[in-house]
Structure 1
Amino acid sequence: MKYASMSIKNKWQKTKWLLKHRRLRRHIPRTVPFNRKNLQMMLSAYPTVYFKPTGGTGGFGIIRIKRMARGYQTKLNTVKSPSPTQVHLYKKLSRFSGRESYLLQQGIQLAKTKGKPFDIRVIVQKTNEGKWISTAICTKIGKPDMVATNYHQGGRLGYLSNMLAGAGYEHDLILRKEAALKRLGVAVGKSFDLYRRGFRELGLDVALDTEGKLWILEVNTRPAIYPWKHLKGKMLYRRIMSAARQYGRVT
């Protein structure tokens, strides 16, 4: 069977789709195209800002910018470097980006489990009947000192219930958060259908902040499946694979 699922890399286009929906808009961190004016605005509004390639994948090329007592600090992978002024910072980021387009995104203070920050991946897949289903949810704990939590950046996958329990959530609240994540995934799938035909799978990167709010950091239209093999029991992996066979992702 031919692999039949639409794929779009442009993060800004996908963000604009989400922002058109009131239900989803409140889950989107402030995100704007990178330019001098927007950099100034974002750094004035937020203590931490992420500089992300518009078409990047796997967490590569992401720079964290932190506002310091004097100037700013950037971090790429594990390497930190200072920028004494905003002008210096803008020139540094412009050289790094070259001709590629980048976004600036509000930094979210992630919830922690046993002292380690994590975010969440929600896999949403469409059945042959055209119904979106959130088939699997896992958490990602980043490798120490890395900017991104992605598996490709050394991140480790875990089960949602374990991570939320480690973050101090009681059983009933864990179930409610899981249900909210599933609803969020389905809502994103339905919203994408309004703008482009052919989507059969999506991967949501979702942040849970220290106040318990869910934030959609990014939507991937061709999410990686193989890392799910490494989750103990492989139940979620089998569930994803079963749905993926319907649209030719796997045979």
Structure 2
Amino acid sequence: MPYKSSTIKSKWKKTKWLLEDAYFRRYVPHTLPFSKKNLTSMLNDYTTVFFKPTDGSGGKNIIRIRKTDGGYQKQLKTKKTYFSGIGQLYQELQRFAGNRSYLLQKGIRLAKSNGKPFDIRVMVQKTKQGSWVGTALFTKVGSPGKVATNYNQGGKIGTFRHTMEGAGFNAAFISQMEAELKRVGVATGHNFDRHYKGFKELGLDVALDSSGRPWILEVNTRPQIYPLLTLKDKSLYNRVISYGKQYGRYK
């Protein structure tokens, strides 16, 4: 059976779907299409801004821009470059983008677990009856010094509870956050269904800031689950596959 779940590549389209709905606005960091005007206004408002391809995946080609005393620091993977003015920075980003469309997103200072930044993947899938359920919650723990936490960028997969404990959150907060993230995931499924037909699974990338507030960085319509195989306990992977088989997902 072939894979049957709709895929939408444009991060900007998916972000706009969420922003149309008042429920999600508090969860979405300020995001705008890349232009000189938007770059200037974002860097006036925030100390850190991410520059990411609208159709990207796996954390590739994401650049972090930070304001410094003398101008701006651009970081791609572990390589840092400095620019004294926004004009120079804009030209460099435009050269890097080429003909590809990019977004600018307010940088969230990620919570850290045992000193390493992490974000959370919230996996929701449809049952045979067509209802959305939260099927997996796990974390992507980044390598210190890297821009993205993705597995493809050297990040490690962690279990939700263990990572949250390593970040110093207490048991009550962890349980409350787990329930909230599953609710947000299911609500995202309903939101996407209103805009387009045929979704059977979604993977939300959620950042917790240092105060523990959740932010939806993006929604993946074809989330990778093979990194779950790196966990000792294969039950999360098996659970996702058991739902996935009905729409042709076998790995």
The one-letter code sitting in structure 2 at the alignment partner of 1:161 is R
> What corresponds to 1:21 in structure 2?
21
2:166 alignment counterpart: 166
SS, match of residue 80 in structure 2: strand
Question: What's the CA shift for 1:2?
Answer: 2.4
Deviation at 1:37, TM superposition (A): 0.3
Distance 1:183 1:153 in 2: 29
Match of 1:103 in 2: 103
Give unpaired runs (5+ residues) of structure 2: none
After TM superposition, list the pairs within 5 Å mapping 1:199-214 onto structure 2. Answer: 199-214=199-214
Q: Name the count of aligned residue pairs.
A: 251
The question of whether the paired residues in 1 share the 8 Å contact of 2:52 and 2:63 is answered with: yes
Aligned partners of 1:128 and 1:111: how far apart in 2? 36
Query: What residue number does 1:235 align with?
Result: 235
Partner Cα distance (1:123, 1:173) in 2? 20
Identity percentage of aligned residues: 55
State the match for 2:112 in structure 1: 112
What's the CA shift for 1:225? 1.3
> Residue 31 of structure 1: CA displacement?
0.2
Deviation at 1:15, TM superposition (A): 0.2
| Partner Cα distance (1:214, 1:46) in 2 | 18
Give secondary structure in 1 for the equivalent of 2:232.
coil
> What's the counterpart of residue 130 of structure 2?
130
The residue type paired with residue 157 of structure 1 is I
SS of 1:50's partner is strand
SS in 2 for 1:194: helix
Asked if 1:148 is matched to 2:142, the reply is no
Aligned partner of residue 177 in structure 1, secondary structure: helix
Q: SS at 2:195's partner residue?
A: coil
Q: Secondary structure at the match of 2:43?
A: helix
Cα distance in structure 2, aligned partners of 1:169 and 1:104: 30
What is the SS of the residue equivalent to 1:239?
helix
Rounded Cα–Cα distance in structure 1 between residues aligned with 2:166 and 2:8 = 35
Shift of 1:148: 0.5
State the superposition RMSD in angstroms: 0.9
Q: Over residues 209-236 of structure 1, what are the superposed CA-to-partner deviations in whole Å (9 max), with x where a residue is unaligned?
A: 1111100001000000111111121110
The corresponding residue for 1:244 is 244
Show the counterpart of 1:44: 44
Matches within 5 A, 1:187-202: 187-202=187-202
* Structure 1: segments with no counterpart, 5+ residues: none
